[in-house]
């Protein structure tokens, strides 16, 4: 067994384990971090397939962008910390049957496909041309997208700072020593 096969199996186990933690965890922050490791493992899969651009895009867009957006949403929404969350399993039997059918179909496709390996040529995988395009012809859209994302993050932080829930506002008034309206 070569190094690529070992890396594939190690990261496959990591992805499946983190995905299970993500689905079954009752804490949303734990689920978000499990999602981060799942998406990072997928980036390793892309790197093992010699798809370097897709691997880097996976890390930048999904792990670096979408996951940070989810964590911003969780951290800036304080309402979830004050409410009890009750979860229950719904439609377990139909979901299990559907998952079993999809699994059987995937196994059938895997076993019936003729997998041929095509050797990779030396000059076939390169990111130089793509990097030159991003930093020459598409520089303005690239910079505009970065500025818009920065403005969205600043706006979200400002909106979260202005709108504080009543429970938090009353607690901070009691702790700061300012007289309340009852006095």
Q: Please report the pLDDT score of residue 166 as a whole number.
A: 58
State how far the alpha carbon of 148 is from the alpha carbons of 20, 141, 161, 163, in Å.
35, 10, 20, 23
The two tokens of residue 147 are 């500025």
Q: Please report the pLDDT score of residue 182 as a whole number.
A: 47
- pLDDT digit string, tens, across residues 29-75: 888 889 999 999 999 999 888 888 888 888 888 888 888 777 777 77
- pLDDT digit string, tens, across residues 128-146: 777 787 788 888 988 898 8
The two tokens of residue 170 are 């009353």
Give me the residue spans of the domains in the chain: 1-82, 129-166
- pLDDT digit string, tens, across residues 64-101: 888 877 777 777 775 555 555 566 667 888 989 999 99
CATH number of the domain located at residue range(s) 1-82 in this protein: 1.20.120.1200
């Amino acid at each position: 067994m070569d190094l690529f096969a070992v890396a594939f199996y190690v990261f496959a186990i990591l992805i499946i384990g983190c995905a299970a933690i993500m689905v079954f965890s009752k804490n949303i922050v734990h689920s978000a971090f499990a999602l981060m490791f799942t998406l990072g493992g997928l980036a390793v899969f892309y790197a093992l397939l010699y798809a370097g651009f897709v691997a880097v895009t996976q890390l930048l867009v999904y792990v670096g962008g979408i996951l940070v957006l989810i964590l911003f949403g969780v951290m800036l929404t304080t309402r979830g910390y004050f409410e009890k969350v009750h979860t229950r399993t719904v439609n377990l039997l139909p979901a299990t049957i559907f998952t079993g059918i999809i699994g059987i179909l995937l196994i059938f496709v895997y076993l019936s496909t003729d997998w041929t390996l095509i050797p990779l040529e030396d000059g076939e995988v390169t990111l130089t041309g793509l990097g030159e395009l991003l930093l020459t012809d598409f520089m303005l859209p690239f910079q505009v997208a970065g500025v818009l994302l920065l403005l969205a993050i600043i706006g979200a932080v400002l909106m979260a700072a202005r709108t504080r829930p009543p429970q938090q506002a009353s607690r901070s008034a009691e702790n700061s020593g300012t007289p309340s309206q009852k006095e």
